[in-house]
Amino acid sequence: MRKILAATIAASVGLLIGAGTIPVAATAKATTAKTPGYTPPAIDWGTCTRPSLQSRGAQCGFLIVPLDYRKPSGAKIKIAVSRIKHKSSDADYQGVMLTNPGGPGGSGLGLPVLGEYVPNGAGGLYDWIGFDPRGVGSSVPALTCDPDYAGYNRPFYVPVTRQLEKTWLAKAKQYAKACDAAGGALLDHLKTTDTVADMESLRKALGVSKINYYGFSYGTYLGQVYATLHPERVRRFVFDGVVNPERVWYAANLDQDIQFDKNMDVYFGWIAKNDATYHLGTSAKAVKQKYYATLYSLIRNPAAGKIGPDEWNDVFVSAGYYVFGWQEVAEAFAAWVNEKDPAPLLNLYAEPGAPGSDNGYAVYLGVQCTDVQWPQNWSKWKRDNWAIYAKHPFITWNNAWYNAPCLNWGAKAGKPVEVNGKKAPPILLISETNDAATPYSGALEVRKRFPRSVLIEGVGGTTHSGSLSGIACTDDTIAAYLATGELPDRVRGNRSDKRCDPVPQPDPAAATAFSARTAADARTELREAIGVR
């Protein structure tokens, strides 16, 4: 998965997937992944520095946990934690709600504001808990390897020459080397199981016997592993944008490549439908041809000397993730093609090199490269990616190079936990039919593994992790579940249990309100509150 995109927070270009540190047996059965007991000290709650949390009266602090849970008395690290307390009476209080925005590598410190977006006051029944997973954001230490790695006008993603292939292999190897040097002992303890152990420490520090949980994207995998290892600690769990535990992680990225390409055809069709606004072509085929013609032209003549074919591709990836931001990307497309104005493109491709700017990417790799062993033979990567590229070129080589540091990662890979939800209570799954970051087949697989789960399908939609955007069918179901535990009936067969409208495509000619606010406005508000731009 390419980057970190929470449903409500996604702000970049790809999807991530993750790792951990507590060793799991060869077959990684849940019963063998238990760790020695560790009791954390109480969290010293204080004021938060982030304005969006301050304005809501949130509390912040640090959870102290072992770097290595096999050595609970050894070196310690600090997990940054935030809390917005319940608004309800104590009689109606439903407990703590841990959250995770995805990634791996996503900062969740601002995510407790999510409670405000649950309809009918159901969010106010909980204490909403955010945290930056180990290595991320405000947690100590935070991993950063090479802030200049992304850069402007990079070598062409598609290795059409042997020299391009060698260049990207060398870049990926150097980034892995930089992470090895920067990460130290932390690099060996970034697996999904490590963060699950931190969640269990957080439960203890909060003094509760069970947790509630709302996870997006990679956060759904984190929740799956927690529910497998600690089913007795599970109360109400919501998974939005469901990761397929059968495909971690190399195969999952190949799956993404196919669906992203299909979603871009939908997007190009939407641009064509709105040709009166964008003037880029009246058919999806014409718009698609213009997209690729422009990409190739940027090889020799990058926009503003900065936006080459790779940066151009990166700008468009978000349109394959979800409908939020479709207009901004189309406006940048039109501005460059029709007026040779690069300013909107530059606004969408952030200037690289800020201190710590690669933190999310570094932790993404730290998790993904060590959760499970990636193929170590480059010829397999090369063969698989060229085969997919032949039919689905949009993101294939972009995604391959994004993950290529796993070829030379410094930390030893483990074995993923065998996800098994047979002992878990009823949980709620949410997915749109054409989710590219976490393809719909993953939601069906998790529904099988959690026999008391219920799946909501946003029928025909292309948005990843789009819950709490104002779609009443979906959001009211979430609210009812969080308020009372009520879920729709589970139906027979390998299919969704409740079918809802997807997050709607935007109308550039008129802001169409389908709720109290539009999905785009709601998502913008939430992203600003969380601190994502």
pLDDT reading at 352 higher than 90: no
DSSP 343-397: HHHHHHSPPS--TTTTHHHHHHHHHHHHHSPPP--HHHHHHHHHHHHTT--SSHH
The whole-number pLDDT of residue 523 equals 57
pLDDT reading at 361 higher than 50: yes
Which of 85-99, 178-192, 348-362 is least confident?
A: 348-362
Helix, strand, coil % over all residues of the chain, rounded to 5: 45, 10, 45
The whole-number pLDDT of residue 306 equals 97
d(CA 482, CA 238) in angstroms, rounded, equals: 9
The whole-number pLDDT of residue 505 equals 97
pLDDT one-digit tens code per residue, 391-415: 999 999 999 999 999 999 999 999 9
* Strand locations in 203-315 (E): 211-216, 234-240
Which pair of tokens denotes residue 211? Answer: 């947790």
The whole-number pLDDT of residue 350 equals 84
DSSP 475-490: HHHHHHHHHH---PPP
pLDDT-based confidence at residue 509 (cuts at 50, 70, 90): confident
d(CA 151, CA 136) in angstroms, rounded, equals: 21
The whole-number pLDDT of residue 6 equals 32
Q: Taking residues 500-513, what's their average pLDDT?
A: 83
pLDDT reading at 34 higher than 70: no
Q: Active-site residue 464, yes or no?
A: yes
The whole-number pLDDT of residue 180 equals 98
Catalytic pick from 188, 198, 435, 475? 435
Catalytic pick from 107, 138, 217, 465? 217
Q: What is the mean pLDDT of the chain?
A: 91
pLDDT-based confidence at residue 457 (cuts at 50, 70, 90): very high
The whole-number pLDDT of residue 522 equals 56
Q: Taking residues 310-332, what's their average pLDDT?
A: 98
What letter would DSSP give residue 499?
E
pLDDT reading at 51 higher than 80: yes
pLDDT reading at 451 higher than 60: yes
Q: Taking residues 80-98, what's their average pLDDT?
A: 98
Whether omega before 104 lies within 30 degrees of 0, making that bond cis, reads: yes
The whole-number pLDDT of residue 351 equals 84
Top pLDDT among 356 and 14 is at: 356
pLDDT one-digit tens code per residue, 218-263: 999 999 999 999 999 999 999 999 999 999 999 999 999 999 999 9
Catalytic pick from 431, 464, 496, 497? 464
pLDDT reading at 13 higher than 70: no
Strands, sheet with 498-500, edge to edge from the N-terminal-most edge strand: 46-47, 59-66, 76-84, 126-131, 95-100, 211-216, 234-240, 428-432, 454-458, 498-500
pLDDT reading at 296 higher than 50: yes
Q: Taking residues 510-531, what's their average pLDDT?
A: 52
